[in-house]
Amino acid sequence: MSKPDRIAAPARPTALRRSVRACRARCLQRIACVALLFGVIGASTAVAQQDDADDPARLFESTPEQFVVANAQFVLMHELAHLVIDEKRVPILGPEESAADYIAAMMLIRPRTLPPEGPDALLQVAVNTAEGFALAWRRRERVGAELPYWDNHSLTVQRFSTLACLLYGSNPKRFSILVERLDMPESRARACIREYERAAYAIDWLFDTYARKETDPPGAPIEIRFEDPPTLTSVRMRDAIRRQGFVERTFRFFNDVVALDEPATFVMRSCRLPQAMWLPETRELVLCYELLDAYMAMSLERTQPAERGAADAAD
Query: What are the pLDDT digits (tens) for 87-120?
Result: 889 999 889 999 999 999 999 999 887 777 778 8
All structural domains of the chain with their residue ranges: 19-212+300-314
pLDDT value of residue 76: 93
Task: Write phi, then psi, for 8 (nearest 5 degrees).
Answer: -65, -30
pTM, whole model, 2 decimals?
A: 0.79
Q: How far apart are CA 193 and CA 195, in angstroms?
A: 5
pLDDT value of residue 17: 44
pLDDT value of residue 197: 97
Q: Measuring CA to CA, which residue among 116, 139, 192, 203 is closest to residue 182?
A: 192
pLDDT value of residue 51: 40
pLDDT value of residue 15: 45
Q: How far apart are CA 236 and CA 289, in angstroms?
A: 11
pLDDT value of residue 57: 67
* 305, 36 Cβ separation under 8 angstroms: yes
Rounded CA Rg of the chain: 20
Q: Measuring CA to CA, which residue among 185, 186, 179, 152 is closest to residue 164?
A: 179
pLDDT value of residue 307: 46
Q: How many CB atoms lie within 10 A of CB 286?
A: 19
pLDDT value of residue 146: 79
**pLDDT under 50 in the chain at which residues?**
1-29, 31-33, 35-36, 39-52, 305-315
Q: Measuring CA to CA, which residue among 166, 182, 169, 174 is closest to residue 59?
A: 174
* H helical segments located in the chain: 14-39, 43-48, 64-87, 96-109, 119-143, 156-170, 176-182, 186-210, 232-244, 246-257, 289-299, 305-314
* 162, 154 Cβ separation under 8 angstroms: yes
Q: Measuring CA to CA, which residue among 83, 80, 84, 78 is closest to residue 101?
A: 78
Q: How far apart are CA 160 and CA 140, in angstroms?
A: 14
Q: How far apart are CA 168 and CA 73, in angstroms?
A: 21
* 169, 72 Cβ separation under 8 angstroms: no
